[in-house]
Structure 1
Amino acid sequence: MTGSEPLPPPPPEAPTDQWKRVHIISPLVRGWIALAALIFFGGRDWFEGFLIGDSRGFRGDGPGNLTLAIAVVLGVVLLIAAGFFLSWYYTRYQVTEEHVRVNSGVIFRQHRQARLDRVQAIDVVQPFLARVFGLAELKFDVADAGESAVRLAFLKLDEAQRLRATILARAAGVAVDPEHPQDIPEAPEREVLSLTPARVLGAAALSGNTVAVLLGLVGVVLFAVVLDTGALLAGFVPILIGVIGGYWNVLNTGFNFRAAISPDGIRIRYGLLDTRTQTVPPGRVQAVGVVQSPLWRLKGWYKVTVNVAGYGASASGEAQARATLLPVGTLDEVLRVIALVLPDPGTDTPVDVFSAGLAGKGPDAGFRTTPRRARLIAPLAWRRNGVAVTRTALLARSGAWWRQLAVVPHERTQSLALHQGPLARRFGVADLVFHTTPGPVSPRVRQVAEEDAWRLFSEQAERAAEARRRSGPEQWMRPVTVEGPAGDPGTASEAPVMLPPPSYQEGSAHERF
């Protein structure tokens, strides 16, 4: 090419790489509460005047007050409409081969960006008003983010689903047709389980909230009888309000709950008024926790939660709902869900091992428990406390009343710590603490023999390093080179997709593992 020749034009930008805007009524859907409050306070005087028969509609003398009030209301409405328009106009998003970007803000500009290969989970959320208009919000969670790093609110539902499929495909490293980069169909899925309304209502009635209500009511009544006053009953009201919120979280998380599996990850749908569709890519789950409250033991029900990088450790109802992989399920359903997160249990007898972790006690299925000499510091839980290790994960169980099981894949172990207080040192036991991403699961091996704790500490560090070395790529669908025998490089092959073989979905729990 000579200096006199013009430079070739840049290649055309792919349609999905163009800057786009969210739906034009998105600000209204986001700010409808403020608008409703304005209408309420602004129209209260008119409504009260109407009820008392004041034909002028507003309190005050003369028609000037009415004209002034109407002008003020119209001015405020116009200001709000202008603010909504500017908010929509200055909110744009872009999806490239490597990033998703969102620009927003009128006075204070904000630019947010997330790498696709670091996307931990992606949700499609439909608040009630958004459902009325057929809109949805996309939420992207990335590693090391305490809250959603990027939000797109709001898009048309079909557009949000199509964009989610595009982002997940690019995050997985799927080869895209360069001539039609936007034509990425949603990955097929296979439903694993669903919950009935009767199960959800029963779970709410027998949840820990009911235990809290009963204990609180008994305590208040006893104090009232002893002190011969009913004033303490007023102190029960805040407890009751908190319990009602807990019941609502259980109902909202469990209603319409469905779990499915697809090549782009685990898909979860739930919601009563606000609906949510979550997609957790494979390998993003850092730890799994299974909990059984005392009353749930009557029905054999469990709850499954997960730690996912990006979800954070918030105690809000939304954060807890997002971290819930199964709101309420039987032992068979729990094993089915664990099989989705940990397709290879790393043992020839997975049902025996995981069942012993969920409902067993003592040294069943190879669990090492708290030594008998330490039963005085754990009189109820020393038989229940235990740890078992498979080729792919470590299982830590604890709890006599609230049974708990934590499952940590070896490659997700970030760091370890040994804890031993003076009383534990006196009885020769120690705790082994696992550090993972923040979330509802806090893996901890409780009160094992001191020599076993040190052995677990060193062996688990080696297992974690070896598992990370063998783990798959961040883009799980990208072809990788696998070494052949004697270290000879093999040919590129695709990483295994998330869609499991039929044996994971059919038959008993024994067949699923």
Structure 2
Amino acid sequence: MLSGSADEWKRVHIISPLVRGWIALLAVIFFGGRDWFESFLIGGGERFREGPVGNLPLAIAIVVGVVVVVAGVFFLSWWFTRFQVTEEHVRVNSGVLFRQHRQARLDRVQAIDVVQPFLARVFGLAELKFDVADAGESAVRLAFLKLDDAQKLRATILARAAGVSLGPGREQEIPEAPEREVLALTPARVIGAAVLSGNSIGAVLALIGIGVFAVVLETGALFAAFVPILIAVAGGYWSTLSTGFNFRAAISPDGIRIRYGLLDTRTQTVPPGRVQAVGVIQSPLWRLKGWYKVTVNVAGYGASPSGEAQARATLLPVGTLEEVLQVIALVLPDPGTDRPVEVFTAGLAGRDSDAGFITTPRRARIIAPFAWRRNGFAVTRTALLARTGAWWRELSVVPHERTQSLALHQGPLARRFRVADLILHTTPGPVSPRVHQIAEDEAWRLFDEQSIRAAEARRRSGPEQWMRPVPADDRDEQTGGPLDTAVMPDPPSYTEGQARHEL
């Protein structure tokens, strides 16, 4: 399927249209055959016994005609879908009547996924999804390829996005980059996380509220309103289970690799430096177990509230403090401080001025009676940390070079108590970095200093092609090189040496 020159136009697997459109095919069969089947049952088989001039031959002819038409549509869809991978672009042409041409620059690839829906797993197929900066959605989708071909193509695309060139005629030699597993979740923890999630809290509060109103109004009919709530809660449980089951995180020269899935499986690869912001959340019930959830903003993922988008933006569905520090270390290998464990732990669970955090002044405690000791920020050489929340604890981490713009927000009540919020703008996603209710003069100082830090960090940031070969004279000062000479990195950690002792 993928043999030949790397730059030639190729086609996806021939049964791809069936895997994509099997639901539509079942719908056609169902609605087309329902009336005939019902009339057959109601008529007691009389129409079936009418002979060849009856409805049975006509029904068979219709079914055969539908199958032929659907097969023809599937064949045309497959025939007119082609893709090409060059040194600089991924191109996909598709469509029969309405032609569509999509192109993604390899140096703008933010993440690449290998997805296997349940039916695709049955046939040993997989879909490739490429996310490109500013696309707002998957810019390119290749559905479907053989799993081995999809993995090889992913390796080729990531290698070219990294700046690797093996020379003419050696494109097929690009191997799958090695990886080292960092952590894996057990099914017991994933199930426990679902039971102790905010869905359970919402369900209990809803049941109590409905019960109170039922007693006051002296009617049990209100309990019917709990049915849609129960369905929503069950959907939340399923989302937690499906995105956390079989979860594994690994590091490779390609970047961070994440695998998860119950029925549909997904392998995500986020190249180095593509994460724009990190968010860590802890719900009240999770505090009993010391669990956290880690999400990220990645250019191209967008801010869609759909379950798939939320799952793709989850870097760790449920983890302990040590695992959270490991994951953050993958995204931010240089924490910019000699006390990373102390600083990040203070961001997750601390309050007041722990580890140098600057918080809401005491005079403004009346407008944030529970969170004023938690609201705050800290700045390291490489990132800004913003924490908030007394019940639902949140920590946002934004690398300085990923700060796109800044804004100060101050409402009437905030002006009365001389406090303000600093908003950091990154790419859209589940993380909304915001420093809440800090002193007005402190907010202005942070606004000016963070602007300077962001500009300086962008100036020093590395190239988009993170493994681009460099001249021999510069190799002592820069990392990178051809893929066949790349060394598997050790997983970054904040818990080595003195940091490990502190934890």
Pick which of 59-68 and 204-213 moved more.
Answer: 59-68
Within 5 Å, give how 1:83-98 maps onto structure 2: 83-98=73-88
2:211 alignment partner AA: V
Q: Matched residues in 1 for 2:408 and 2:78: separation?
A: 52
Q: Secondary structure at the match of 2:219?
A: coil
Instruction: Rate the CA distance shift 1:19–1:59 in 2: closer, same or farther, 3 A.
Output: farther
Residue matched to 2:61? 71
1:351 alignment partner AA: V
Residue matched to 2:464? 474
Residue matched to 1:265? 255
Q: Matched residues in 2 for 1:62 and 1:227: separation?
A: 65
Q: What is the CA distance between 1:500 and its match in structure 2?
A: 3.7
Q: Matched residues in 2 for 1:508 and 1:249: separation?
A: 38
Does 2:337 correspond to 1:347? Answer: yes
Structure 2 unpaired stretches of 5+: none
Q: What is the CA distance between 1:490 and its match in structure 2?
A: 8.7
Instruction: Rate the CA distance shift 1:474–1:41 in 2: closer, same or farther, 3 A.
Output: same
What TM-score do you get using the length of structure 2 for normalisation?
A: 0.94
- Asked if the contact 1:120–1:309 (Cα under 8 Å) also holds between the matched residues in 2, the reply is yes
- Asked if the contact 1:332–1:508 (Cα under 8 Å) also holds between the matched residues in 2, the reply is no
- Asked if the contact 1:416–1:433 (Cα under 8 Å) also holds between the matched residues in 2, the reply is yes
Q: Matched residues in 2 for 1:270 and 1:60: separation?
A: 55
Pick which of 13-22 and 169-178 moved more.
Answer: 13-22
Instruction: Rate the CA distance shift 1:481–1:216 in 2: closer, same or farther, 3 A.
Output: farther
Q: Secondary structure at the match of 1:100?
A: strand
Pick which of 496-505 and 106-115 moved more.
Answer: 496-505
Within 5 Å, give how 1:2-21 maps onto structure 2: 15-21=5-11
Residue matched to 1:28? 18
Candidates 239, 242, 250, aligned match of 2:229: 239
Residue matched to 1:174? 164
2:167 alignment partner AA: D
Q: Matched residues in 2 for 1:275 and 1:408: separation?
A: 29
Pick which of 471-480 and 251-260 moved more.
Answer: 471-480
Q: Matched residues in 1 for 2:496 and 2:49: separation?
A: 73
Does 2:407 correspond to 1:422? Answer: no
Instruction: Rate the CA distance shift 1:301–1:265 in 2: closer, same or farther, 3 A.
Output: same
Q: What is the CA distance between 1:376 and its match in structure 2?
A: 0.1
1:504 alignment partner AA: S
Does 2:370 correspond to 1:380? Answer: yes
Residue matched to 2:273? 283
Residue matched to 1:127? 117
The size of the alignment, in residue pairs, is 496
- Asked if the contact 1:351–1:509 (Cα under 8 Å) also holds between the matched residues in 2, the reply is no
Does 2:318 correspond to 1:333? Answer: no
Q: Matched residues in 2 for 1:458 and 1:114: separation?
A: 36
Does 2:30 correspond to 1:40? Answer: yes
Residue matched to 1:410? 400
Candidates 501, 506, 510, aligned match of 2:499: 510
2:66 alignment partner AA: V
Structure 1 unpaired stretches of 5+: 1-12
Within 5 Å, give how 1:104-123 maps onto structure 2: 104-123=94-113
Q: Matched residues in 2 for 1:110 and 1:228: separation?
A: 61
Does 2:490 correspond to 1:501? Answer: yes
Does 2:418 correspond to 1:433? Answer: no
Q: Matched residues in 2 for 1:342 and 1:365: separation?
A: 19
Q: Matched residues in 2 for 1:57 and 1:183: separation?
A: 64
Residue matched to 2:205? 215
2:387 alignment partner AA: R
Q: Matched residues in 2 for 1:366 and 1:83: separation?
A: 64
Q: What is the CA distance between 1:181 and its match in structure 2?
A: 1.2
Q: Matched residues in 1 for 2:383 and 2:338: separation?
A: 13
Q: Matched residues in 2 for 1:509 and 1:46: separation?
A: 76
Q: Matched residues in 2 for 1:362 and 1:327: separation?
A: 28
Superposed CA deviations along residues 385-415 of structure 1, whole A, max 9, x for unmatched, are 0100000000000001100000000000000
1:150 alignment partner AA: V
Q: Matched residues in 2 for 1:239 and 1:498: separation?
A: 51
- Asked if the contact 1:189–1:260 (Cα under 8 Å) also holds between the matched residues in 2, the reply is yes
Superposed CA deviations along residues 154-189 of structure 1, whole A, max 9, x for unmatched, are 000000000000000000001323221122001000
Q: Matched residues in 1 for 2:341 and 2:325: separation?
A: 8
Q: What is the CA distance between 1:494 and its match in structure 2?
A: 3.3
- Asked if the contact 2:282–2:292 (Cα under 8 Å) also holds between the matched residues in 1, the reply is yes
Candidates 284, 287, 303, aligned match of 1:313: 303
Does 2:150 correspond to 1:160? Answer: yes
Residue matched to 2:215? 225
Residue matched to 1:5? none
- Asked if the contact 1:290–1:406 (Cα under 8 Å) also holds between the matched residues in 2, the reply is yes
2:32 alignment partner AA: G
Q: What is the CA distance between 1:369 and its match in structure 2?
A: 0.4
Q: Secondary structure at the match of 2:158?
A: helix
Q: Matched residues in 1 for 2:471 and 2:347: separation?
A: 37
Q: What is the CA distance between 1:510 and its match in structure 2?
A: 2.6
Residue matched to 1:6? none
Q: Matched residues in 2 for 1:304 and 1:494: separation?
A: 28
Q: Matched residues in 2 for 1:87 and 1:472: separation?
A: 42
Candidates 183, 190, 209, aligned match of 2:180: 190
Superposed CA deviations along residues 67-92 of structure 1, whole A, max 9, x for unmatched, are 22221121111111100000000000
Q: Matched residues in 1 for 2:157 and 2:454: separation?
A: 30
- Asked if the contact 1:122–1:280 (Cα under 8 Å) also holds between the matched residues in 2, the reply is yes
Q: Matched residues in 2 for 1:385 and 1:498: separation?
A: 42
Q: Secondary structure at the match of 1:376?
A: helix
Instruction: Rate the CA distance shift 1:313–1:458 in 2: closer, same or farther, 3 A.
Output: same
Residue matched to 1:138? 128
Instruction: Rate the CA distance shift 1:279–1:58 in 2: closer, same or farther, 3 A.
Output: farther
Residue matched to 1:458? 448
Identity of aligned residues (%): 78
Superposed CA deviations along residues 181-234 of structure 1, whole A, max 9, x for unmatched, are 122001000000000000000000000000110111111111111111222222
Instruction: Rate the CA distance shift 1:381–1:56 in 2: closer, same or farther, 3 A.
Output: same
Q: Matched residues in 2 for 1:435 and 1:426: separation?
A: 26
1:494 alignment partner AA: T
Residue matched to 2:360? 370
Q: Matched residues in 2 for 1:92 and 1:456: separation?
A: 51
Instruction: Rate the CA distance shift 1:64–1:437 in 2: closer, same or farther, 3 A.
Output: same
- Asked if the contact 2:418–2:440 (Cα under 8 Å) also holds between the matched residues in 1, the reply is yes
Instruction: Rate the CA distance shift 1:153–1:505 in 2: closer, same or farther, 3 A.
Output: farther
Residue matched to 1:400? 390
Q: Matched residues in 1 for 2:420 and 2:152: separation?
A: 51
Superposed CA deviations along residues 405-426 of structure 1, whole A, max 9, x for unmatched, are 0000000000000000010000
Q: Secondary structure at the match of 2:54?
A: helix
Q: Matched residues in 2 for 1:505 and 1:369: separation?
A: 24
